[in-house]
Amino acid sequence: MRPVIVAGNWKMHTTPADAGELARTIGARTRVDGVTVRDALAGPDVAAPDGTGLAVGAQDVHHEAAGAFTGAISAPMLDGLATWVIVGHSERRRDACETDELIGRKLVAARAAGLRAILCVGEQLADRDAGRAHDIVDGQVRGCLAASDPAALGGDDGRGFTIAYEPVWAIGTGRNARGADAAEMAGAIRAALASLAFSGGGDDVPVLYGGSVASSNIDEFMAEPAIDGALVGGASLKPDEMAAIVARAGLTAAARAAA
Ligand code: PGA
């Protein structure tokens, strides 16, 4: 069974002190005892300190393991600091001109260092309006994974690799996709994975929805069996909102586990 995953993407917000306070408050409101960013970072097993299922992720990683790349952070440098990483976020594609090919290399570097990776894909508004959303996302998945070994991406437990479908027009706009549309795109993503020879036809790969997720709309996405959670931006900076999103996704996780 695929895990339910809720990831908060704080982007370039918070100071270290603010981040600790925010994590503590979200932790308290989701009844995760004693969770702080610092505790999570300091724990020997940062994937699940205190068995909480909470982990810390980085927002990007360099595609080389080491080298003369001033200002860049490699996957091995994140050892002990993070167990997850986002690659291919649309803000990186836009601001750092990241291509699918480069993002694919970051993915390989992240997985080689044992990081669990969330690969972001998603179409622009003009693409959706022109009926090209499916083709764009299919092309992004293929372009990012063309050079990857599907078996190496998932890792031994098959849990190393997650895809976030994030339509660019929904990010930070307050305009979210419809649940049914996100589910359809998850289907397109898994079809692309299947054609790339992913085991189980991509059925083992969690697909998250991202783009203006809030406590008021998370149920619409979690009601879709093809959607396994959310990548949350703005709302993850608001403790009550994030706690409510986690709680609601937790209900789905429990229901799926019981089914
Ligand atoms: P948003 O951001 O929830 O603020 O739309 C999502 C993201 O950028 O991952």
Domain residue extents for the chain: 57-63+70-174+185-211
* pTM score of the predicted model: 0.94
Question: What is the percent of the chain where pLDDT is above 70?
Answer: 92
The pick from 9, 215, 217, 238 for probing ligand 1's pocket by mutation, whose C-beta has the most ligand atoms within 8 angstroms, reads 9
Residue bearing the CA closest to ligand 1, atom 3:
233
Name which of 6-10, 39-43, 222-226 the model is least confident about: 39-43
pLDDT band at 7 (very low <50, low <70, confident <90, very high): very high
Residue 158 confidence (pLDDT):
73
* Comparison of pLDDT for 255 and 149, the residue scoring more: 255
Give 244's contacts (C-beta < 8 A, 6+ positions apart). 215, 218
Residue 155 confidence (pLDDT):
74
Catalytic option among 62, 89, 134, 224 = 89
3-state DSSP assignment of residue 98: coil
pLDDT band at 28 (very low <50, low <70, confident <90, very high): confident
Which CATH architecture group holds 57-63+70-174+185-211? Alpha-Beta Barrel (3.20)
Is the CB of residue 103 less than 8 Å from the CB of residue 142? no
Work out whether strand 57-58 and strand 84-87 pair parallel, antiparallel, or are unpaired: parallel
State the Cα–Cα distance between residues 147 and 4, nearest whole angstrom. Answer: 27
* Comparison of pLDDT for 50 and 142, the residue scoring more: 142
State the Cα–Cα distance between residues 125 and 148, nearest whole angstrom. Answer: 29
